[in-house]
Amino acid sequence: MAESWSGEFYCVKCKEKREAEGHIEVNEKGTKMAKAVCPVCGTKLNRILGRA
């Protein structure tokens, strides 16, 4: 089961901070990243959380 993370993301298209819930992935460098979808415009959101 994938970890989930809810909090603030910055939407580049809306140019505003949005509250959203997403899932956590680890990239090839070992950095945890939360990924979600903007509830207003539908753009993919990404937030870097730090090292795994």
7 beta partners: 20
Pull the structure tokens for residue 51. 């090292």
Position 1 scores a pLDDT of: 53
Domain membership of residue 43 as a residue range: 4-51
Q: Report residues of the chain scoring pLDDT below 70.
A: 1, 52
> Which CATH number do you get for residue 44?
2.20.25
Torsion of CA 7, 33, 47, 34, to 10 degrees: -40
pTM for the whole thing?
0.81
Number of domains in the chain: 1
Pull the structure tokens for residue 37. 């979808």
